[in-house]
Structure 1
C-alpha cells in the first residue's frame, strides 16, 4: 500500500474515470485499472483515531520501488526536471520561499543553467514539451494516437474511431500534417510554449489547407471531430505531467468534497443504513436522468455524489454499471463553472421532483457534532464513509445487468498487460485488431 498522500492522488485520479481509463489503456496498465481502490486493506490500516498507519513492510516496499521516502519532509529539497529545449536534467527546488518560483509554487519558473540553452522552464513550456513528445510518438513507426483520441465520444475504446475516414481521428491526422511547423513554431525556442502551438494550429485551421488537401475524405469538421480536437488539447493545457489530467487540481477539488462530507458527519448518524439506502435509490434515478437527458448537465446532491464516488472506486464495476444503464462510460466532471452549475442544479431539482414527486435536495446532517480534526483526518473520515457504503449489502434492485457495489471474486483471472493494445495509425486495419483489445477493458463475465 502507498503512503496517504499517494492514496489521495490515486483516489482523485480514479474519480476522473475516463482519464483514468485512458491513461491505463495507453500504457498497458489494465490490471491496475481493474484493481480499484482496496478498501478492505485501507480500512485495516486506519485506527480508531482515524490515523493511517502503514506497516513497515509497506514502507520498505514503497521506498525500494520508488526510491522515495514515505514522509515528504524526508525527501530531497529539489527534483530533477528535463529542460523543455535541451532535455538536460535541471535540479528545481520544490518550493522557493523568496519568490514562490519552486516546482510546487504558484509562480513556478526556472531557467536552464546550460549556458548554450537558457530556456525558460515553467508550466507552459513543459506542457509544450509534453505535446511534442506525444507528437513524436504519433509520427514514429508505432503511431501511438494522441491522448484524448483513444476513447470515443462515449468514453469507450472503439476500433471504429481508428478508421482513417472517421473525423474522431482528425487531431492525429492534422498534427501529422503540421508536424514540422508544430515542432518549430514560436518566435524564440527558449520561451516557446503551448500557446505557440495553438496559434500555429489556428492559422492552419482558418486557412482550411488541411481539409482541402485530400488527405482526409471529408471537407468539413463535424461535431465529433471538434470534440475530439478539444479533448486532445485539454490533455496538455497547463498540464506538464504524464497524465491526461492535472492531478494537483484534481486532489484540491476533491479536498473540498472531503471537507463537506466530514462536516456532515454521516459516519456517526444513527440512521446510517437508511441514509445509504436512500442515497443509492436516488443515485439510480440520477443515472436514469443522465441517460434520458443526454444534452443536459445533471448535477448530483452530496449524498448522490458519495454513492457515485464509491462506485467509481471500482472501475470495472463502474464501467459495467454505466454502460449497461446509459450505453456510455459516464465521466465525472468536477470543473464545471459555478454559473452553469447553479442553473443545472436548479433544473435537476425541478425535473427530479416532477419525475418522482420527491424533493431532490434536502438537509441530512447527523445530530452528532463534528470533532475537531485535521485535513488529513478528514480524508480518513471520507475513507470511512466510503467503507460503510462498500461493506453494507443493500437490498435495492439496482439493475440486473450490473450490481452497484459488486466485489471482484478473489479467483478472478487477471489480464495480461499485452491485452491492452492501441491500434497505431497507419497500422493494421482497426477492424482486424486482435480479439481482446477493446474487449479486454470490459469486466470479466464473472464480475
Structure 2
C-alpha cells in the first residue's frame, strides 16, 4: 500500500478564531528559514544554540501532536482538562503502538549501516538515509520524548553501538515543511513517506502504511524472548477487557513449552515480570554494561561486578522471585546505594515493548509511555500561553534565549542547587537538546532525572527566580507570553520588595458585608514555572515498596499514573 499523501486539512477552531487577529506572525518568520540542523551533522562536537525558526518549528510540532491526539481520540472540540478512563487507555495503547513503530524504525536504520567498513562510512550512509526520509508523526513523538530523556538516550545508543542516531539532530527543516501552518496537520511529501517505508521493508519489517492516527483496527502483537528472540506467543491482544493484554498492567498469556538453552525454556506462561526477568538474565550474561551504568558512569565500579554475580545467583536459584524480590535480596548483599537506584530505575519498571519486535538488536528498556506523557504536560502548558501566536514572537524568543543563557550560567555556579526554569526558558532548553543530542549541556542531564515531590515546587521555583533576579536585575523574570506582558506593571518593582510579597494566590474570607471571595494575584505568579523536570506523586498514593526503591509517578490529566503502565485500575476516584 502506498503511503497516503492526501489528508483532510481542517482548520483548528482555536486557530481559526484568531486568524483575523493577526496572530500568525510566526508564518512570516518561517518564510526565510535558516536552520542550523544542516550544519550539525558536519560539526558533531560543537554545541550550538537553536535558531529562532527552530524554536518556532518546535511549537508547530506541539500543535501537530495535539491534532494527532484529537484525531486518535475522536475529539472535535477543545481539549478537556480531564480525560475519562476509556480515552486515557486508548491513548496509552496508541502510544505503545507508536513506541513499537519507533523501535522497528531504529532497528531498520541500524541494519542498513551496521556492515559499513569504517566509522566514517557508517556516518555518511546514515546521514544520507535520514536526509531522504521523515518518520510518521507518532514515531517523531517517541523520538522527541526519548531525546529529551538525554542520559537514557545516550545510554541506549552507546550500549547498542548506534551513536550515529545519537548524533543526528532533530529534523526541524523537514518538520517545518511537513506541518501545515494553519491546520497543523502533518503532511510530509510522498517521496519522504515512500523512502521511510522502503527502509523498513528492506530490513524485513512489514508495514501497513505511513500514518498511524486511529485505533479502528483490532490490535494484536507477537511476543518474543528478549534474549534468544524465540516466538513466545502469537496474536496477543494489545489490550482487552480482562486487563491481560500486552499493554495492560496485568498482562498474562499461555505459551507453548519448548526446550532450549535459553532461560525461556520450559515456560508455560508469560507476564510483564517474566519478560523483565528474561531481560535481566540476558543483560547479566551480556558483555555490555547493565542498563543505566553508562549514563551514571558506573562501568568501573567494583560493586557492579559483585552485583552481576548476586543477580545471576538469585535468578538461577530462586526462579519464583519477582524482579522486585530479586532487587531487594540483591541489595541486602551488595551495599551500593547508587547501583541500587540505577537498578530500580532501569529494571524494576521496565516496559519491554521491544519484545513485540522480532530480532530487535536495539532494545529500549525504560518506559517510553511515561516519557511521552511527561512531555505532554510541558506541551499542554506551553500551548496554553499561546507563545506561537504572540504578535512579537521573534523578539520574545530572542529574549528567551538571553534568559536561557543566564539560567545555564546560574547552574554552573550553583551545581548542588535544584533550579527550575520558566516555560520559555525550558522551551529553549528542550529545543537546544533536540538540536544537539550528542553534546547537550550536562545541566539538563542532572536536573531532568531528579526525583522530587510536588510540594518542593513551592520552594525551589521561587528560589530560582530570586537567584535570577539578584544576578540579572536588568532582565525581567516574568514570562514573555501575552498574558504576563499584559499584566505587568508599567514601572519596575524593586527586587527586594518584589520577593518579599506572598507567593501565589491569596483568597480572603467572606466578610460581614456578605461580599464574595476576593482573589489577589501576586506578581510572582505571573511567571509560569515549567513543571516538566519533576516526577510528581500524591501523598495518598499507596506503595508497597518502602526500602529505598524509586517508584515513579506522574500526574496526568488529574490521574495518578503508575509507571510503567497506564491502567484504569490506577485511577483515583
TM-score range, shorter chain: 0.5 to 0.7
Deviations 1:13-55 (A, max 9, x none): 1111111111111111111111111100111111232111133
Supply the distance in 2 between the matched residues of 1:202 and 1:329 (Cα, whole angstroms): 26
The within-5 A match list for 1:241-260 is: 241=352, 242-260=363-381
- Counterpart check, 1:34 vs 2:177: no
- Counterpart check, 1:357 vs 2:486: no
- Counterpart check, 1:82 vs 2:241: no
Say what the alpha-carbon RMSD is for the aligned residues.
3.0
The SS at the match of 1:20 is helix
The within-5 A match list for 1:297-336 is: 297-316=418-437, 318-319=439-440, 322=441, 330=446, 332-333=448-449, 336=452
5+ residue gaps, structure 2: 1-133, 258-265, 353-362, 484-573
Supply the distance in 2 between the matched residues of 1:294 and 1:360 (Cα, whole angstroms): 23
Q: Which of residues 436, 444, 460 in structure 2 aligns to 1:344?
A: 460
Supply the distance in 2 between the matched residues of 1:38 and 1:335 (Cα, whole angstroms): 31
Equivalent position of 1:104 in the other structure: 247
TM-score by length of 2: 0.51
The SS at the match of 1:79 is strand
| Native 8 Å contact 2:177 2:188 kept in 1 | no
The within-5 A match list for 1:39-54 is: 39-48=172-181, 49-54=183-188
Supply the distance in 1 between the matched residues of 2:366 and 2:477 (Cα, whole angstroms): 30
Q: Which of residues 306, 331, 342 in structure 2 aligns to 1:202?
A: 331
Q: 1:233 to 1:351 in 2, by over 3 A?
A: same
| Native 8 Å contact 1:13 1:247 kept in 2 | yes
Q: 1:237 to 1:315 in 2, by over 3 A?
A: farther
Give the CA deviation at 1:3: 0.8
The within-5 A match list for 1:9-158 is: 9-48=142-181, 49-64=183-198, 65=200, 66-69=205-208, 70-72=210-212, 73=215, 77-82=219-224, 88-91=231-234, 92-96=236-240, 98-105=241-248, 107-114=249-256, 117-122=267-272, 124-137=273-286, 143-152=287-296
Deviations 1:196-248 (A, max 9, x none): 22122033236xxxxxxxxxxxxxx5xxxx32442243112221333253111
Q: 1:291 to 1:45 in 2, by over 3 A?
A: same
Higher relative contact order, chain-length normalized (CA < 8 Å, sep 6+)? 1
Corresponding pairs, count: 322
Q: Which of residues 136, 140, 155 in structure 2 aligns to 1:3?
A: 136
5+ residue gaps, structure 1: 138-142, 154-160, 207-220, 368-447
Give the CA deviation at 1:121: 0.8
Equivalent position of 1:227 in the other structure: 338
Supply the distance in 2 between the matched residues of 1:121 and 1:84 (Cα, whole angstroms): 13
TM-score by length of 1: 0.65
Supply the distance in 2 between the matched residues of 1:356 and 1:272 (Cα, whole angstroms): 22
| Native 8 Å contact 2:166 2:438 kept in 1 | no
Supply the distance in 2 between the matched residues of 1:39 and 1:303 (Cα, whole angstroms): 19
| Native 8 Å contact 1:90 1:113 kept in 2 | yes
Q: 1:169 to 1:309 in 2, by over 3 A?
A: farther
Question: Which runs of structure 1 show a deviation greater than 6 angstroms over 4 or more consecutive aligned residues?
Answer: none
Q: 1:183 to 1:299 in 2, by over 3 A?
A: same
